[in-house]
Amino acid sequence: MSSSLRIARRYVIYGRVQGVGFRYFTQNRAIACGVKGWVKNQHDGTVLVHAEGREIDLQQFETYLRMGPPGARVDQINTSQVQPQYKSSFEILS
């Protein structure tokens, strides 16, 4: 796989990830990693992330997701490969 090929992953993040700035942290880390996509809170208390970019950038981004911001506790992340939506930015969805 080429290192410049755009791939996409969906992350479902479990733990104390709402009410701790997780979406803003995710957006900031995505921008720093060159990742496009979106993040949103789910009604079940999880955070859902759609991220796309180069494999190396997604690996770095996932490392940040596993840490989370101060005050968060990431218990588990379910990851799946999805089709790219060819987003041009990284958004926080409500």
The residues annotated as belonging to the active site are 23, 41
Strand partners, 82: 8
Pair type for strands 73-82 and 90-92: unpaired
| H helix runs in 9-77, sequence order | 22-33, 55-67
